[in-house]
Amino acid sequence: MTSNNQSLWRNPQAIALLMAASLTVMANATISPALAGLEREFAEEPDAGFLVRLLVTAPSLGVMLTAPLAGWLTDRKGRRPVLLAGIWLFLLCGTAGYYLPDLPLMLISRFGLGIAVGLIMTAQTALIGDYFTGASRQILTGLQISARNFGGLVFIGTAGLVATLSPRLPFLIYGLAVLCLYTVWRHAPEPRRSTGRAGLVETPGHPAWLLLVIAVSALQMLTNGLFFMMPTQLPFFFASQGLNSALMTGAGLGLLSLCGGIAALFYGRLKSRLLHSAVFALGYGALALGFTVLAQQGSAVLSLAGAMAVGIGYATVSPGFVAIALALAPSGRRGTAGAILTASVFCGQFLSPFFTTPAIARWGYGGTFGIAAAGISLMALAALTVALSAGRRRVAP
């Protein structure tokens, strides 16, 4: 591990931002193990099955609709108050499902949770740009992906255990946000802005930063939409193979998160040696390999290997979106850049089933995974072409 990595692990501001990053993975999937139990509990309510499933997607809708407001608040009212408000709301709305009496109220609380996640991710992204520069920023963008992956392992695994006792208990896991609230309050001050040494140096950003950030976010949305086939379609893929869906899905997503978390730890070291385009080529190459393996519809071991490759590829490309957007945006508009990035992540997640489910109905799992692999291979080839072209320009006399 590099000295930069080691110094970041000792930096209280970095720890506070990584804790905040780990919360965002809890938004959707933490209550997934409790869905069947909640459906039984509210079986007498009209449309219970539909409303229970909406509990998972409602936070994504909340993020998408409120991210622009989060960006405006972050740039005009400050990063720290927005981040603290988001964690407070996360704590209140996340745990509300434990005691709320009916599904409509629980659905409202889940929408509120999405608002909280939008505030947290937007302010946290802006603070990464404010607190850190150069190699430290590159490393931290990778570490936050690791925090989300490892957080997912812990939170979702714990939810699966406590859901066997009561379908309401997983909601209490959101109470862990109180630890993050204290850490952020204690160690994440509002950056001071000035042109001197005493404060944060203002940077103008790229003249066309907004259009470029939107383009980067569109690529991130496409990437997330393709990646989200894993949590939304993997259970049904394994069932179609005659395998134990619950066991295989848990193993597949667990290995995916573990491999992704480990891969993201090395992002800073990788980026110090390669251009962004070369890192994207490697990451999309691993993603394409993973979907190609899954398209073979082979043995359980082969399918798990494919899921691992997908996790590695996604964790390799994801930090680059944040790093590029922060480098493009003026320092005073990093909240807006963070909001656009945040909305694109959850937009991709929300839209993914609407495109992939009809594709699977028409071409089957093998065909759909194969089409995804072909499309991602083209993305890898395009990134590699850009990297090689940039390399030739570097060595040209």
What is the CATH classification number for the domain harbouring 284? Answer: 1.20.1250.20
Exposure letters 175-191 (e unless 16+ CB within 10 A, then b): ebbeebbebbeeebeeb
pLDDT tens digit sequence for 78-110? 999 999 999 999 999 999 999 999 899 999 999
C-alpha 147 chain-centroid distance: 10
d(CA 179, CA 258): 23
Q: 376 or 147: which carries more pLDDT confidence?
A: 376
- Kindly state whether residues 360 and 213 are assigned to the same domain: yes
- Kindly state whether residues 131 and 2 are assigned to the same domain: yes
- Kindly state whether residues 152 and 20 are assigned to the same domain: yes
User: Is the pLDDT confidence value at 200 over 60?
Assistant: no
- Kindly state whether residues 135 and 210 are assigned to the same domain: no
The structure tokens listed for 379 are 């993305």
Backbone angles phi, psi at 190, to 5 degrees: -70, 125
What sign does the dihedral 351-373-323-14 (CA atoms) show? positive
User: Is the pLDDT confidence value at 5 over 60?
Assistant: no
Residues spanned by the domain of 144 = 1-202
**pLDDT at residue 393 in the model:** 64
Last-in-domain residue among 202, 223, 258? 202
- Kindly state whether residues 161 and 228 are assigned to the same domain: no
Last-in-domain residue among 157, 179, 202? 202
- Kindly state whether residues 158 and 273 are assigned to the same domain: no
Average pLDDT over residues 290-306: 94
Residue 32 to residues 52, 94, 117, Cα–Cα distance (Å)? 10, 14, 18
Q: How many domains does the chain have?
A: 2
* CA-wise closest residue to 315 among 381, 223, 216: 223
Average pLDDT over residues 330-345: 89
- Kindly state whether residues 274 and 348 are assigned to the same domain: yes
43 SS3 class: coil
Q: 184 or 145: which carries more pLDDT confidence?
A: 184
Average pLDDT over residues 153-157: 79
- Kindly state whether residues 222 and 192 are assigned to the same domain: no
User: For the chain, what's the residue count?
Assistant: 397
Last-in-domain residue among 166, 187, 202? 202
Average model confidence (pLDDT) across the chain: 87
- Kindly state whether residues 33 and 110 are assigned to the same domain: yes
User: Is the pLDDT confidence value at 285 over 80?
Assistant: yes
- Kindly state whether residues 6 and 84 are assigned to the same domain: yes
